[in-house]
Structures are given as structure tokens and as C-alpha cells.
Amino acid sequence: MFGLFSQKPQWNISSIPDLTGRVAIVTGGNAGIGFVTCRELARKGARVYMLSRTESRALAAIEQIKQELGPSVDSKLQYINFDLQSLKTGKKAAEEFMEQETRLDILVNNAGIMAMPYELGPDGIEIQACNGTGHFALTIPLLPLLKQTAALPNSHVRIVNVTSQGYHFARSVTPDFSSLERLNQKTWSTMGRYGLSKLTNILFSNELQKRLDRDGIYCVSVHPGVVNTALYRGAEHSWPFVTPLIRFLTKFYLTPEQGALTQLYAATSLEVEEKNLKAAFLVPVAKHTGKASLAEDKDGRLGGQFWDLCEALVKQKT
């Protein structure tokens, strides 16, 4: 279910096409699968903007990539500040990017937190819910540039929202995005709140695809698999007594290199268009699978609720 062992050996890092001239944004790119995504996009010739909260970590990650790939990528990696918990930084990051670039081919909304104890962020939004709201604040101002790029010859514009099979945990609650108070319910469990946030990532892809369908932009949701990254620090905070077990199990998880494959596929492979993977849900490695009815959201009720709530929050907080 969680894509721990499934593989698609015919698609790997070497399958990424030449990306010379393309421009990409990757959130949370300083570590884990985000780091691998930035590195491999740059390796293939893309100009990559690493959007992260902590400048020192991002710059260290960029330097590490440059050392691995050599001087040819010196001008291909840039840092922009982006804090998933701050709607203002999402809007500001988009504006800063557009001051520097005239196209955007790939947007990978990769940043996220998992299983953290209940806490409200600076905008009064529960911090796990920011997995969805923060990326909304960043993505919406970028839509005109994404559309402009999609209108260019030989363009392959993608929006990739990194989610999780953990969205199934949302079944333990009653999803309701009609108000901030409903989004922030403290009575929901830690994993229930995480599941809701990952559900919103899928709903966001659904809603984006509806609005961008005629523009030739492909919006894809990706479950990277169970990957050995720092994402599990949240679980250690919430349940310190299971920390030894978590650290033992991570030995059997996918590596970040393996975990990044499916989002790299979604961001770059021409198969996405050939197979018409609009609003698709992909699991490791690069496999299209169905969504539960909750995430399919055929009547658009939940997706519409989430979109409207995010619009209101961005207007209020920025």
C-alpha cells in the first residue's frame, strides 16, 4: 500500500530527458528527496530554485550539489526563502522568483512535515495543515507564468504536489475545510491531521487541473514511498517511546534517491503527457494508481472548500 518495495526498473535517473533551458522550483530542497530532486534536475541542465526555510541549510545543500556535479552547475542553483508555515513567505517567494525569471517549467511542491504534536503556526494555522495552505500561497501567484510558459513551443509544464498514501488516515476524521476552526480541530489525532494535510495536497492537484486543463499544464500528485528521511522526526516528537523502533525500521525504507524517482518522473517524463496523467496519483516507482473516493472528490465539494478557505486565508494573512 505505501510503496515500500514496489519498483519500476525501466524508469530511473538516467531516464530524465535533457532539461537545458528549463526552469524549476523545488520546495524543501535542502534535504531528503527534495535535495535529490534539485540535484538531478540541475544535472540534466535545468535552472533550479531551492525554496527552503533556513538559508544556511539551503546554501550548504547547494554547495554540496555543486561539489558533486562540478562547476557546470554553478549558475543553475539559486536559493529563495520559503517557510511552509507562513503564507506571506509563499507569496513573497513567488514574487522574488518572478523578478528573476521569465519562465517556469516545473514546480515541485515537496516540502512537508509529519506527525508533529499539535501546534499553531504564525498564521494561526495548525502546522501540519500548512502542508497544504503553504503551497497554495506559493503556487497561485505563479500560475500566470506557468501558463505563459505552457504557451511556448515544445513546453512541458508540470505542477507536482508531493502527498502520501497517509491521506487514508483522513478517514478517521470527517474532512471539513469550510473554516479555519474546522481545519484546526485539536481533537483530531496527530496522524488524522497529517492525513488531512496529505488529502489537501491531492485535492489541490485536482482543483488545479480543472482550472489549467486548457492550458496544457499537467498537475500530478505523488506518493514517494516510505523513505528514510528526517520527516520521521515528527513521530519521534509525538511518540518518543517508539523512537528506537522507528530508527530500526528506517533501515528497510527506500533511500532518498529511490524516493525521489516518482516525483522526478512526474516532473520530467514525456510519458506523463503520452499517458494523459492529468490529476493522476502516482506511487513508486512511476506507477499510476487509483485514488480513494475521498481523494477523487468527484463532486468537487472538498476541493472547492479547501480552495476557498486558502484564498480567504491568503487574503487575510498577506
pLDDT band at 243 (very low <50, low <70, confident <90, very high): low
* Number of other CB atoms surrounding residue 231 within 10 Å: 20
d(CA 104, CA 18): 16
Given a cut of 70, whether residue 158 has pLDDT beyond it is: yes
Q: Each residue of 63-112: pLDDT tens digit?
A: 999 999 998 888 899 999 999 999 999 999 999 999 999 999 999 999 99
Q: Which residue is catalytic, options 44, 49, 76, 194? A: 194
Is 88 tagged catalytic? Answer: no
| Between 191 and 188, residue with greater pLDDT | 191
All domains in the chain, ordered by first residue:
13-317 (3.40.50.720)
Band of residue 246 on the pLDDT scale cut at 50, 70, 90? low
Helix (H, G, I), strand (E, B) or coil at 23: strand
Give one DSSP letter per residue of 222-271, joined into a string: E---SB-SGGGHHHHHH-GGGHHHHHHHGGGSBPHHHHTHHHHHHHH-TH
Judging by DSSP bridges, how do beta strands 281-283 and 218-222 pair with one another?
parallel
Instruction: Specify the range with the lowest mean pLDDT, choosing from 206-220, 252-266, 293-307.
Output: 252-266
* 244 φ/ψ sector (left φ>0, alpha ψ -120 to 50, else beta): alpha
Q: How far is CA 268 from CA 221, 264, 271, in A?
A: 14, 6, 9
Q: For 149-169, what is the mean pLDDT?
A: 96
pLDDT of residue 219: 98
Grid cell, residue 308, equals: 476557498
Other beta carbons within 10 angstroms of residue 222's beta carbon come to 32
pLDDT number for residue 6: 46
Residue 7's pLDDT is 46
User: Which sign does the torsion angle of CA 189, 179, 292, 161 carry?
Assistant: negative
Mean pLDDT of 193-215: 97
The answer to whether residue 278 is catalytic is no
Coil, helix or strand at residue 21:
coil
Distance CA 232, CA 252 (A): 14
% of residues, the chain, pLDDT over 70: 89
What angle in degrees, to the nearest 10, is found between the helix axes of 87-100 and 130-150?
20
Q: Which three cell numbers stand for residue 80?
A: 529563495
**Average pLDDT for 126-152:** 98
pLDDT at 154 over 70: yes
Of 75-79, 109-113, 173-177, 249-253, give the lowest mean pLDDT range.
249-253
- 254 — pLDDT class (breaks 50, 70, 90): confident
Q: Which residue is associated with the grid cell 494561526?
A: 124
Selected catalytic residue, list 44, 76, 92, 198: 198
Tell me what pLDDT residue 8 has: 44
What is the mean predicted confidence (pLDDT) over 140-158?
A: 98
Residue 250 is predicted with a pLDDT of 60
Of the listed ranges 18-27, 67-76, 90-99, 223-232, the one predicted with least confidence: 223-232
The cell numbers describing 171, all together, are 478517514
What pLDDT does residue 241 have? 46
Query: What is the model's pTM?
Result: 0.92
Kindly state the cell numbers that stand for 102: 521569465
